[in-house]
């Protein structure tokens, strides 16, 4: 589903050179639930940005669902983000001026669905995350856990098969966090390919496979990673 | 198309969400559109009322004015012109500025001393009563034919035949009422020429109307009049002979230049309004960088973001334009009531001003919109 080969990404912050991704290779199969685990600054967010087509690598190849990302135009990248990838962010990233329902509808607008179909699918997605009774609430009227569930519903509504979650529990208390993780766990049984980015080992353990990130490099086991 | 309506809905919502800010932004456009429409409408209405006043007198009319104050020509000098076949009639006249009173009412008027032929030549009609006739001139009677404006000011009624008023120390009896023309003849009082000469204590006559026998003979009549005047005055700089149609053309030129100039000045304020919109759109882009990032992350294309901000700028400018149009219509209506003068809204100016608003929306919205659309998703998401 996602195949990254020898990805490099370097940032220049002032005089300093940061190798955010240093020869990173990763292969994620369809319906796999992979956790990417590492301390802050290890390059895991850069990895997610590259996987989510929000950012392009300096070198290396990335093939998503048979499409070579390096070959894509800006318009095609937007289309991939729209149809293939659902994002779940640590800060939820909902639009405050819109109701929960409208937030979930948003990706469907860019997929050019009719208003009727948008509302139907958005309601279905909100039901799926257990917020069918909170559809007209603004994000500011919802708890953190509820906001994150709206964000997940937004990812589900777009019919994307890949869900990229960046520290989805990072801003939540442990109870809401557990609820969100149960929801993500449930989704992994429903034909979604899930990439979960976290620095929390307990959260990561829910995944079928854990990939460790240290200084922009990827490792399959904790021992290898800690040896760096 | 769905995309367009969604952007439109979003733009209207964000305009309403910041009512005060939107209003202040639109204010520049509102004032600009108002000044374009009101100024051009005023200029056009004035032009058309002056033009109709002049053309009602006929294009076969010449005006003779003596500018040299030392010359004392009398009525017969001018009437001499009637000997020519191409001149149908001559009406020497004398204008005296005065104040007319009746009871406690008074009004400033131009008293015009006329001969019996004057009203025919100047193209004036009677509403009621009779005109000034030769015997009035012979007897130097204190009779008067008055305009409707004077009748309204002095008597608050048009039923004035037989009424009297005082002017320059004499009591005049009204014998006739002029038809309303909407021009300055409404505020005139016509009296016998000989009477006017008596009250102004002068026999010198400096103005006359000369009517050509037909419109084809205007040029000939003008040449003959100029020849005659040169004979009388021996100085070609001491008199002028105007042709009404020439005057009309000059008038039209001046007025269209004037309205173009007024429109141009007003257009500058529209431009300033446009800059205000650009300013607010730039602020809006900066404020909503994160929103742009979110939209891009979930699949918005560059063109979607571009359209969203462009439509928002257009909504602001068009809404401002429409409000400006509404206020101009209201303002002109109030002006009509207060100033008792019909000012029609100039629709061509209104359409041009509204089209200009669309252009302003696109022109001044495109830079901020392009700026928004070019943000990369992570750049936009990382900003708070």
Count of Cβ atoms closer than 10 Å to residue B167 Cβ: 21
Is A112–B3 a contact, with Cβ atoms under 8 angstroms apart? Answer: yes
Is B381–A54 a contact, with Cβ atoms under 8 angstroms apart? Answer: yes
Is B299–A97 a contact, with Cβ atoms under 8 angstroms apart? Answer: no
**Average pLDDT over every residue of A204-224:** 90
* ipTM, interface predicted TM-score of the complex: 0.92
Tell me what the pLDDT averaged over chain B comes to: 87
Residue B194, pLDDT score: 92
Q: Which of B8, B299, B303, B374 to mutate to test the interface with A (most CBs of A within 10 A)?
A: B299
Residue B180 pLDDT greater than 90, yes or no: no
Task: Give CA B145 to chain center in angstroms.
Answer: 28
pLDDT-derived band of residue B384, with 50, 70 and 90 as boundaries? low
- In this prediction, what percent of chain A has a pLDDT beyond 90? 73
Q: Closest-CA residue in chain B for A110?
A: B300
Is B302–A154 a contact, with Cβ atoms under 8 angstroms apart? Answer: no
A78 and chain B: CB distance < 8 Å anywhere? Answer: yes
Residue B171, pLDDT score: 94
A198: nearest Cα among A91, A85, A44: A44
Q: What is the phi/psi pair of residue B358, to 5°?
A: -60, -45
**Average pLDDT over every residue of B228-243:** 87
Q: Residue B298: which of A75, A107, A114 has the nearest Cβ?
A: A107
**Average pLDDT over every residue of A28-56:** 91
Q: Residue A110: which of B14, B298, B377 has the nearest Cβ?
A: B298
pLDDT-derived band of residue B170, with 50, 70 and 90 as boundaries? very high
Residue B50 pLDDT greater than 80, yes or no: no
Chain B residues with CB-CB distance to A106 below 8 A: 295, 298
A106 and chain B: CB distance < 8 Å anywhere? Answer: yes
Q: How far apart are CA A179 and CA A156, in angstroms?
A: 17
Q: What is the pLDDT of residues B256-291, one digit of tens each?
A: 888 888 888 888 888 888 888 888 889 888 888 999
Q: How far apart are CA B148 and CA A28, in angstroms?
A: 96
Residue B383 pLDDT greater than 80, yes or no: no
Chain A residues with CB-CB distance to B374 below 8 A: none
Chain B residues with CB-CB distance to A140 below 8 A: none
Residue B51 pLDDT greater than 80, yes or no: no
A11 and chain B: CB distance < 8 Å anywhere? Answer: no
pLDDT-derived band of residue A153, with 50, 70 and 90 as boundaries? very high
Q: What is the pLDDT of residues B110-165, one digit of tens each?
A: 999 999 989 988 888 899 999 999 999 999 999 999 999 999 999 988 899 999 99
Is B300–A158 a contact, with Cβ atoms under 8 angstroms apart? Answer: no
B contact set with A (CB within 8 A): 2-3, 6, 13-14, 17, 290-291, 293-304, 376-378, 381
The verdict on pTM exceeding 0.90 is no
Range from B249-253, B350-354, B374-378 carrying the lowest mean pLDDT: B249-253
Is A74–B13 a contact, with Cβ atoms under 8 angstroms apart? Answer: no
User: B96: exposed, middle or buried (C-beta count within 10 Å: 0-12, 13-18, 19+)?
Assistant: buried
Is A81–B297 a contact, with Cβ atoms under 8 angstroms apart? Answer: yes
Residue B248 pLDDT greater than 70, yes or no: yes
A115-128 helix and A144-157 helix, angle to the nearest 10 degrees: 130
Q: How far apart are CA A29 and CA A42, in angstroms?
A: 24
CA distances (Å), origin A5, targets A56, A59, A69: 13, 9, 12
Q: How far apart are CA B266 and CA B152, in angstroms?
A: 37
**Average pLDDT over every residue of B86-104:** 91
CB B353 within 8 Å of CB B36 = yes
- The residue that leads in pLDDT, A86 or B70, is A86
pLDDT-derived band of residue A29, with 50, 70 and 90 as boundaries? very high
Q: What is the pLDDT of residues A80-137, one digit of tens each?
A: 999 999 999 999 999 988 899 999 999 998 898 888 999 999 999 999 999 999 999 9
* Dihedral (CA of B248, B249, B253, B254) sign: negative
A224/chain B closest Cα distance in angstroms: 31
Residue B8 pLDDT greater than 90, yes or no: no
Q: How far apart are CA B62 and CA B208, in angstroms?
A: 8
- In this prediction, what percent of chain A has a pLDDT beyond 70? 100
B54: tokens are 């002049």
Q: What is the phi/psi pair of residue B205, to 5°?
A: -120, 125
Please identify which residue in the block is written with the tokens 């199969």: A29
Range from A27-36, A129-138, B210-219 carrying the lowest mean pLDDT: B210-219
Residue A9, pLDDT score: 93
Q: Residue A75: which of B293, B301, B378 has the nearest Cβ?
A: B301
**Average pLDDT over every residue of A127-155:** 93
- In this prediction, what percent of chain B has a pLDDT beyond 70? 98
């Amino acid at each position: 589903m996602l195949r990254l080969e020898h990805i490099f990404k370097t940032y220049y912050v002032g005089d300093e050179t940061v190798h955010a991704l240093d020869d990173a290779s990763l292969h994620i199969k369809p319906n796999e639930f992979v956790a990417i685990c590492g301390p802050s600054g290890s390059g895991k967010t850069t990895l997610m940005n590259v996987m989510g087509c929000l950012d392009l690598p300096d070198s290396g190849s990335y093939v998503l669902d048979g499409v070579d990302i390096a070959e894509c135009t800006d318009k095609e990248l937007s289309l991939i983000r729209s149809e293939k990838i659902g994002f779940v962010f640590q800060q939820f990233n909902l639009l405050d001026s819109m109701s929960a329902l409208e937030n979930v509808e948003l990706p469907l607008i860019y997929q050019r669905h009719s208003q009727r179909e948008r509302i139907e699918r958005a309601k279905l997605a909100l039901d799926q995350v257990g917020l069918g009774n909170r559809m007209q609430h603004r994000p500011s009227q919802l708890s953190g856990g509820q906001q994150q569930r709206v964000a997940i519903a937004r990812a589900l509504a777009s019919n994307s098969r890949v869900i990229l979650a960046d520290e989805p529990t990072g801003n939540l208390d442990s109870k809401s966090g557990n609820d969100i993780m149960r929801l993500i766990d449930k989704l992994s049984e429903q034909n979604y390919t899930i990439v979960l980015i976290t620095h929390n080992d307990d959260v990561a353990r829910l995944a079928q496979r854990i990939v460790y990130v240290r200084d922009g490099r990827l490792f399959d086991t904790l021992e290898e990673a800690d040896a760096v | 198309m769905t995309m367009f309506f969604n952007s439109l809905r979003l733009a209207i919502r964000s305009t309403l969400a910041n009512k005060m800010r939107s209003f202040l932004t639109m204010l520049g456009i509102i004032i600009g559109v108002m000044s374009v429409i009101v100024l051009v409408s005023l200029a056009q209405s004035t032009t058309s009322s002056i033009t109709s006043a002049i053309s009602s007198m006929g294009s076969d009319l010449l005006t003779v004015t003596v500018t040299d104050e030392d010359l004392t020509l009398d009525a017969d000098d001018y009437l001499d012109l009637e000997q020519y076949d191409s001149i149908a009639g001559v009406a020497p006249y004398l204008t005296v500025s005065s104040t007319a009173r009746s009871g406690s009412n008074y009004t400033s008027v131009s008293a015009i001393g006329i001969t019996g032929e004057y009203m025919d030549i100047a193209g004036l009609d009677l509403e009621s009563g009779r005109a000034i006739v030769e015997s009035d001139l012979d007897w130097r009677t204190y009779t008067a034919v008055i305009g409707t404006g004077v009748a309204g000011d002095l008597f608050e009624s048009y039923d004035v035949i037989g009424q009297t008023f005082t002017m320059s120390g004499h009591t005049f009896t009204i014998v006739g009422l002029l038809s309303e023309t909407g021009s300055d003849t409404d505020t005139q009082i016509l009296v016998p020429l000989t009477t006017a000469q008596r009250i102004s204590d002068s026999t010198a006559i400096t103005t006359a109307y000369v009517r050509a026998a037909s419109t084809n003979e205007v040029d000939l009549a003008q040449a003959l009049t100029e020849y005659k005047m040169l004979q009388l005055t021996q100085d070609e700089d001491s008199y002028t002979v105007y042709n009404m149609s020439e005057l009309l053309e000059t008038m039209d030129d001046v007025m269209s230049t004037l309205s173009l100039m007024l429109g141009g000045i007003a257009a500058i304020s529209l431009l300033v309004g446009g800059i205000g919109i650009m300013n607010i759109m730039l602020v809006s882009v900066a404020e909503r960088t994160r929103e742009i990032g979110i939209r891009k992350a979930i699949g918005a294309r560059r063109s979607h973001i571009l359209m969203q901000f462009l439509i928002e700028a257009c909504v602001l400018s068009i809404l401002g334009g429409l409000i400006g149009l509404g206020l101009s219509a209201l303002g002109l209506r109030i002006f009509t009531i207060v100033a008792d003068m019909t000012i029609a809204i100039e629709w061509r100016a209104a359409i041009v001003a509204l089209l200009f608003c669309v252009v302003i929306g696109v022109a001044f919205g495109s830079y901020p919109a392009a700026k928004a659309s070019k943000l990369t998703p992570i750049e936009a998401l990382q900003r708070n």
